[in-house]
Structure 1
Amino acid sequence: MIISELLLLISLIFIVLLITSSIVYSTVKLGISPMPSSNKAYFSMMQLVDKTGSGTIVDLGSGWGNFVIRIAKRYPQRQVVGYELSFLPWLTSSCIKKILGLKNLTLHRKNFYLADFSKASVLICYLFPEAMEKISHKLQVEKSNVSFLISNNFALPSWQAYRTIRLNDFYKSPVYLYKISKAET
């Protein structure tokens, strides 16, 4: 009895260490941890997505799937794509997708900087300034059908936001909506 309890405890400690080391490794490698948006930000971003038509929605850095799964459930008629490099968050969201049977959701464990946005209509992101700079450059030089970009907290350099929602939180965090057109850059 004592040996089985000890083995169970050792197994749990091993799993926790594996999970922790996976998240730490991904954070160091990518320069940012998988950080979910607040509920206020989710609702504001969903409100903005409501006004973006019927094209494919792409979540850049879909993390644990909090937003990408909600949006796929909300719009079963729209294709939704998520990109996440961190293994554990990607695995978690992939399992939830399967459990919920979300056929309109595709999740990639792939670097979104290398992704083809030619079929994307809306980009969603909660990244960091350097990543936003890279996305801005990608939108300026690549041919795509992206019509909108929605960003939680971080502005898209060299672009003028079409609309900004200030959240009712401690920091008055911004959620930006950009209308993307090549002439605007």
Structure 2
Amino acid sequence: MDFSDLNSLQLFIDEQSLFYFIVTIELILILVLLLFIIYFGIPFVRGAPFAVSTPGKTKKMLELVKRYLGDRPRAKAADLGSGDGRLVLALAANGLEAHGLEINPFLVWYSRRKVKKAGPENAFIHRADYLKVNLSEYDIIVLFGVFYMMDRLEQKLKNELRPGALIISNYFRFPHWQPIAEQDKIFVYRIERIPSPRRIVLNSGI
């Protein structure tokens, strides 16, 4: 094989390598796009996108649950859009039967692993669209929603929850309900008191 043949062979190898490299990059980009659609797109269209509650917010939400729940040791709580499961585990650690309703399959998988590793028998993660789940069995609802779904969710909770049910909403208010308490953009509602002109604004320290 002469020198020109060697050059041709090297050129062919380089072209083939470049081709496979480009195809690999394209496949990776397609996979990333699909993961992005599953992770963000579907939850955004069908519910709320994943937003992490800070440890401070989680602690304050738990404090408000304990303050307004009263003596109900067998109460059932649902975290609507439970994300990575941190609030479900926190509720379970405080003795509640805690259920997380999450539509994102990756977050369901991840949070179930966290629950399994932590080991509580009173924490459960369900892959579900909470707008399509009957919530009447729950005594406590906690959520970190988004503004465009609060009106629809308000009607759902009004129709399904029993009198006395407690609702803790992080950051977003319901459009027609008056909270019975508020602290640091966390709003507390109780079904039997809605609507009510009474409102308590708590100071920043619990």
Question: After TM superposition, which residue ranges in structure 1, 4 or more long, deviate above 4 angstroms?
Answer: 17-21
Q: Give unpaired runs (5+ residues) of structure 2.
A: 1-23, 197-206
Once the two structures are superposed, residues 29-79 of structure 1 have per-residue CA deviations (whole angstroms, 9 ceiling, x without a partner) of 22243111112211110111112132111100000112111221222xx21
TM-score norm. by structure 2 comes to 0.71
What is the SS of the residue equivalent to 1:158? Answer: coil
Selected match of 1:117 from 135, 139, 149:
135
Paired positions, count = 164
User: In structure 1, what residue type is equivalent to 2:118?
Assistant: L
Q: Identify the residue that residue 64 of structure 2 maps to in structure 1.
A: 48
How far did 1:89 drift? 1.0
Distance 1:24 1:80, change over 3 A: same
Distance 2:78 2:40 in 1: 22
Distance 2:58 2:117 in 1: 22
How far did 1:184 drift? 2.7
Distance 2:181 2:194 in 1: 18
What is the SS of the residue equivalent to 1:47? Answer: helix
Distance 1:143 1:38 in 2: 27
Q: Is the 8 Å Cα contact of residues 118 and 145 (structure 1) preserved in structure 2?
A: no
Larger Rg, first or second structure (1 or 2)? 2
Further displaced range: 29-38 or 17-26: 17-26
Selected match of 1:64 from 84, 103, 109:
84
How far did 1:23 drift? 4.5
Q: Identify the residue that residue 158 of structure 1 maps to in structure 2.
A: 176
Selected match of 2:114 from 81, 88, 96:
96
Relative contact order, CA 8 A, sep 6+: which one is greater? 1
Further displaced range: 98-107 or 144-153: 144-153
Distance 2:93 2:173 in 1: 27
Selected match of 1:134 from 131, 152, 155:
152
Distance 2:128 2:181 in 1: 30
Are residues 1:29 and 2:29 paired? Answer: no
TM-score norm. by structure 1 comes to 0.78
Q: Identify the residue that residue 195 of structure 2 maps to in structure 1.
A: 184
How far did 1:181 drift? 2.1
Q: Is the 8 Å Cα contact of residues 22 and 87 (structure 1) preserved in structure 2?
A: no
**Over aligned residue pairs, what C-alpha RMSD do you find?**
2.5
Q: Give unpaired runs (5+ residues) of structure 1.
A: 1-9, 167-173
How far did 1:22 drift? 2.8
